[in-house]
Amino acid sequence: MTEKPSASRSADSGPLIDVDELERSLRDPDVPTPTLLDVRWSLGTPSDESYEQYLTAHVPGAVFVDLTTALSGPAREDGSGGRHPMPDAERFQAAMRRLGVSEDHPVVVYDAGPGLAAARAWWMLGHFGADDVRVLDGGLAAWQGAGSAVESGEHSPTPGDFTAEAGGRPSVTAQDIARRLSDSSSAEAAGTVLIDARPHERFIGRDESVDPVAGHIPGAVNLPALDLIDDGGGLLSGDEVVAAFSERGAHPSTPPTVSCGSGVQACHLALAWEAAHPEAPPAAVYIGSWSDWISAGDRPVARG
């Protein structure tokens, strides 16, 4: 399949939008109204419970997005692809059209905070070719904290016309990672750092409460996604994010590959990277991540 050009990453706007700017764009009759997607998801919370939270209060006009069904492919019995596999273009396109995503309207995604699930939606939309997608910094908590209005109940969108073609953002597979491990001197691997976004205790294999095997991919370094969140629930300053990536060996000339447990927190690292390095090549995301890596029993595992 022919890949779309890379998703637009405007240096003047960046991948984040704050409450004030979103409110202005919703009021401005001279610009296309943003399509609002509420990705109310957190690890261990059932989808129906997340949906009930959405019904209680959301940004006016926002549509509920089920991360498991709209932003993931079907989970496989053997675990390959991970807990939230990459959806194919046809499945993703159908989901986005049901949610009202159209070619001629920008998209703003948010969650209840701190932005992990919203980042997954942002990355997926960009990967499949949407070129104007931003994340509400701080999510619903920031929106409500600013005194902005919310509504309850369900919002039914007009079906959209979004066309999905993979390739707008870079991704890697377990096979790509394995090739790098087997030939660390290859041109592809040179200078590339693999950063794992899971909490440190899970990364070192001391407290694995989610997946059946503890540890991490050999050679990976750890940068927990939640370490990049400030006390208000938004992303840390650009300088702080740059420093965090630099300490792990990722620089604008050598963007990282990022992973996590199932391709959610990894997308947040990709978001943070792009917010702090708007002119640099984007991070590559291993969507299958650790839950995919361990689905094949012969792949190496590191601990500590």
Could you tell me the residue ranges of all domains in the chain? 16-145, 174-293
Phi, psi (degrees; rounded to nearest 5) at 284? -90, 135
Q: What is the pLDDT of residue 180?
A: 87
Instruction: Indicate the average pLDDT of the chain.
Output: 92
* Alpha-carbon dihedral sign for residues 89, 265, 98, 19: negative
- Whether the full predicted model's pTM is greater than 0.85, yes or no, is yes
Given the structure tokens 């959610």, which residue do they identify?
264
Do 16-145 and 174-293 fold alike per CATH?
A: yes
Model pLDDT for residues 66-105, shown as the tens digit of each residue: 999 999 999 999 999 999 999 999 999 999 999 999 999 9
Q: Is it the case that residue 12 has pLDDT exceeding 90?
A: no
Alpha carbon of 70 to those of 51, 99, 276: distances in Å?
Answer: 13, 9, 28
- Judge whether residue 57 has pLDDT over 80: yes
Residue 87's pLDDT is what?
Answer: 97
- The 3 state secondary structure assigned to the chain is CCCCCCCCCCCCCCCEECHHHHHHHHHCCCCCCCEEEECCCCCCCCHHHHHHHHHHCECCCCEECCHHHHCCCCCCCCCCCCCCCCCCHHHHHHHHHHCCCCCCCCEEEECCCCCHHHHHHHHHHHHCCCCCEEEECCHHHHHHHCCCCCECCCCCCCCCCCCCCCCCCCECCHHHHHHHHHCCCCCCCCCCCEEECCCHHHHCCCCCCCCCCCCECCCCEECCHHHHECCCCCECCHHHHHHHHHHCCCECCECCEEECCCCCHHHHHHHHHHHHCCCCCCCEECCCHHHHHCCCCCCCCECC
- Residue 8: the pLDDT is 41
CA dihedral in degrees (289, 292, 293, 297; nearest 10)?
170
| Assigned token pair, 71 | 């932003």
User: Do the beta carbons of residue 199 and residue 138 sit within 8 Å?
Assistant: no
Local confidence band at 4 (pLDDT 50, 70, 90 cut-offs): very low
Mean pLDDT, rounded, for 163-175: 96
For the stretch 260-293, pLDDT in tens is 999 999 999 999 999 999 999 999 999 999 999 9
Superfamily of domain 16-145: Rhodanese-like domain (3.40.250.10)
The type of residue at 297 is G
The pLDDT, as a whole number, for residue 124 is 98
Q: Beta 194-196 vs 107-110: how paired, if at all?
A: unpaired
pLDDT in tens, 192-204: 899 999 999 999 9
Mean pLDDT on 206-224 = 94
Where residue 161 falls among pLDDT bands split at 50, 70, 90? very high
CATH architecture of 174-293: 3-Layer(aba) Sandwich (3.40)
Using CA atoms, how far apart are residues 176 and 257, in angstroms rounded to an integer? 11
User: Catalytic residue positions?
Assistant: 260
Handedness of CA 36, 92, 5, 260 (dihedral sign): positive
Please check the confidence at residue 11 and state whether its pLDDT lies above 90. no
Say what the pLDDT of residue 100 is: 98
